[in-house]
Amino acid sequence: MNELLSETLQGGCNCGAVRYTLTPGFRMGPYACHCTLCQTRTGSAFAEHMVVLRSALEVPGADWEGKTVNPSGAEVMLYGCNSCGARLWGENLTVPGLATLRCGTLDRSAEVEPEAHLWVSSKQAWITLPHGTKAMDEQPRSNEEWMRELGHMP
Ligand SMILES: [Zn+2]
Ligand SMILES: [Zn+2]
């Protein structure tokens, strides 16, 4: 788990056309987002994200982009593979310099365990969170709160 926050990581889309390398640097711990927007956007029960430095993410082949709005109202650009449709990361336009990586696209995704669960107020009822895990009804309200809850310096 801690290794995922410090090591060089690789990942990519389903078809292999887009591969990325995440070099070491500031990262926030992975979190699961149970907001209804993530549910709709992913067609699943929740999204699993990790905030990283955009400059640490090398993605030469990404050739798809879209735009969405997150629960706080901020516009988010999404990027991924135009061939297979996998969405790899997002960039919140109000927090330039950071990227929100989709943890399921990591080659080592099986090692990812969320450090926090956000928007538990709209979590699907069948999901039982691990005992003692950090859970928030909504999400951190400020950059300072994000850092306090999930920040990890290299
Ligand atoms: Zn692809
Ligand atoms: Zn969400």
Question: What's the 30 CA to ligand 2 centre distance in angstroms?
Answer: 13
Domain residues of the chain, as ranges? 2-130
The answer to whether 32 touches 118, Cβ cutoff 8 Å, is yes
- The region of weakest confidence among 43-57, 93-107, 138-152 is 138-152
> Which residues, chain by chain, have CB under 5 Å from ion ligand 2?
33, 35, 38
Average pLDDT over residues 42-61: 96
**Which residues, in sequence order, are CB contacts of 30 under 8 Å at separation 6+?**
4, 48, 49, 50, 103, 112, 113, 114, 115
Question: Which CATH number applies to 2-130?
Answer: 3.90.1590.10
pLDDT digits (tens, 9 = 90+) for 73-132: 899 999 999 999 999 999 999 999 999 999 999 999 999 999 999 999 999 999 999 999
149 CA to centre of ligand 1 in angstroms? 33
CA angle, residues 103, 76, 95, in degrees to nearest 5: 90
Any idea how long the chain is?
154
* CB hemisphere CA count around 56 (13 angstroms): 22
List pLDDT tens digits, range 25-43. 999 999 999 999 999 999 9
In three-state secondary structure terms, 123 is coil
